[in-house]
Amino acid sequence: MVLRFANAKRDLYRKLAKKEGYRSRAAYKLIQLDKKYNLLTCGSIIIDFGAAPGGWMQISSEKVGEKGLVLGIDLRRVSPFAENTIILTYDIFDPNISEKILGHLPRKADVVLSDLSPDIIGVWQVDHLRQIDMVLKVVDLLPHILQLNGNAILKIFEGEATRSFLSTVNDIFNEVHISKPPASRNKSSELYLVCKNYRVN
């Protein structure tokens, strides 16, 4: 019964995404997070790590409007779709990634999003630690790319490194909320950290 319900929920969001023109069901996770925490505002600059196939970029683009800008980064190609978006095909571990990002922006971002995930190999401890390593890289970039008092939404895979990672982000944001939006599968170990008021220069 539980599995049947989970599959029905997944199919619901997949059908909704197709009907409403979103590139992935993940778009609804960001819609739900933003409805609760109100981070995506008109005129903002947003950086989206792990942007492919573009669902989060679509939502962000709608929210920031023509006066805002959304920059998406992924190793996989993302098809362009809106004038207020820029898409870069880069590796998050590129040593010059922050300079490459800032070269496309008029200033540092107001919001950083990370929906990064490694290629899953099925060994949970390995998958978890690889995903945490990726999002830690995003955190390392924040002094270079995020405005003081800016905000972030960071996906993590729950596991042995979660407590340590939470400690890291609590040290640099005034507020950190742990959230699991309804569009996220019940069985999934993914959590979203909604981080408010970045306080590191």
Active site residue 155: yes
pLDDT of residue 12: 76
Cα distance between residue 6 and residue 35, in whole Å = 23
**Considering 155, 180, 187, 196, which one is annotated as catalytic?**
155
pLDDT of residue 1: 46
Mean pLDDT in each 10-residue stretch from start to end of the chain (201 residues)?
50 70 79 96 98 94 97 91 93 96 97 95 92 98 98 96 97 97 86 96 62
122 φ, ψ (degrees, to nearest 5) = 95, 0
With beta carbons less than 8 A apart as the criterion, state whether 195 and 154 touch. Answer: yes
With beta carbons less than 8 A apart as the criterion, state whether 24 and 52 touch. Answer: no
Host H or E run for residue 142: helix 124-145
pTM: predicted TM-score of the whole model, two decimal places = 0.91
- Residue 24 burial by Cβ neighbours in a 10 Å radius (0-12, 13-18, 19+): middle
**Beta-bridge partners for 109:** 146
CA 24 to chain centroid, in Å, comes to: 13
pLDDT of residue 188: 82
Cα distance between residue 129 and residue 35, in whole Å = 30
Hey, is 7 helix, strand or coil?
helix
Place of tokens 């170990």: 189
With beta carbons less than 8 A apart as the criterion, state whether 41 and 64 touch. Answer: yes
pLDDT of residue 3: 46
Domains and CATH numbers, the chain: 2-198 (3.40.50.150)
pLDDT of residue 5: 44
